[in-house]
Amino acid sequence: MLYWAAVFFIIAIIAALFGFGGLAASAVGVAKILFLVFLVLAVIAFLFGRRLPTG
């Protein structure tokens, strides 16, 4: 998921360089959403994946 956020960010940068403002804004929006989803899932995995062994 972080990979796709980076891909859309690169697409946004390239589109902005060529003057496609609307496309760049859309790609940045998608990249932000994917990054936030990745961040939430990473925090959840960190919190629930570190359990102490019982016994």
Host domain of residue 35: 2-49
What is the model's pLDDT at position 55? Answer: 59
Count how many domains the chain has: 1
- Evaluate whether residue 37 is within a structural domain: yes
Give yes or no for residue 50 having a pLDDT over 80: no
For residue 30 the two structure tokens come to: 């998608």
What is the model's pLDDT at position 36? Answer: 92
- Evaluate whether residue 23 is within a structural domain: yes
DSSP symbols for 8-55: HHHHHHHHHHTT-HHHHHHHHHHHHHHHHHHHHHHHHHHHHH-PPPP-
Residue 42 and residue 33: Cα distance in Å, rounded? 14
pTM: 0.63
- Evaluate whether residue 54 is within a structural domain: no
